[in-house]
Amino acid sequence: MTRLTRSESQALTRLRLLKSARDLFRRDGYAVTSVDRIAEAAGYSKGAVYSNFEGKEAIFLAVLETESEENLGKLLKRLDRAETLDAVVDVLAEWADERSKSGGWSLTVLEHARVAPMGSASLRRQEEIVRAQWRRLGAYLLGRFPGVASDGEVLGALLFEIAYAPALTFVTAPGAGALVRFALPPLLARERQGELAIAG
């Protein structure tokens, strides 16, 4: 077997640390997950963590960004196969139901926001990651439905907030999919009226 180069070995270490961190954050939350536990779960020393990340916040933000990109990428591929408005709404409703059932992650994101100092670089970065996802989904939908009078970021935020709403992790009805099916069709079917349909 070919020996890994130093950069390949470091990239593999980083991936393993991110996977362990993701699993721990998702299962145990932000506060309980420590650098020591991440290192142990990945099979590395604490020093390996610090040679790849500045600390727990940096690992969390890297996991958040990776998870966000992967999940949104999968959703957009599913939406590409949806040929009608009803099919798009169905895909988004199914996605919202799936996301709301994985409540551990959304609660971890909220937990980090609660403990991070107001105005900190970490909290600003978390907001940037979240808002980028809102904008990307909103822009995609506005591209598919150009007659919609809306702000893409607001449209994306509406869908993400329904899908990741903490209460929907334990309230049985209405589910996230039902809320999407209620809110989205009138927004996407609306003709452009010259003003924003959703006030920002």
Are 76 and 164 found together in one domain? yes
CATH number of the domain within which 24 lies: 1.10.10.60
Instruction: Report yes or no: 9 and 2 within 8 Å, Cβ to Cβ.
Output: no
Q: Is residue 125 part of a domain?
A: yes
- Of 56, 63, 62, which Cα lies nearest the Cα of 26? 63
Q: Is residue 199 part of a domain?
A: no
Domain count across the chain: 2
Residues 39, 134: one domain? no
Share of residues in the chain with pLDDT > 90 (%): 51
DSSP 88: H
Whether 2 maps to a domain, the answer reads no
The domain containing residue 48 runs over which residues? 7-53
Same domain, 16 and 95: no
Q: Is the same domain home to 86 and 181?
A: yes
Residue 63 placed within a domain: yes
Claim: this prediction has a pTM higher than 0.75: yes
User: Both 43 and 97 in a single domain?
Assistant: no
Evaluate if residue 183 carries a pLDDT over 80: yes
Of residues 182 and 190, more confidently modeled: 182
- Residue pair 192/147 in contact (Cβ under 8 Å)? The answer is yes
Question: Is 21 contained in some domain?
Answer: yes
Q: Give the integer Cα–Cα distance in Å for 197 and 187.
A: 8
CA distance 111 to 13: 26
132: which residues sit within 8 A by CB, 6+ positions away?
A: 68
When pLDDT is cut at 50, 70 and 90, the band that residue 105 belongs to is confident
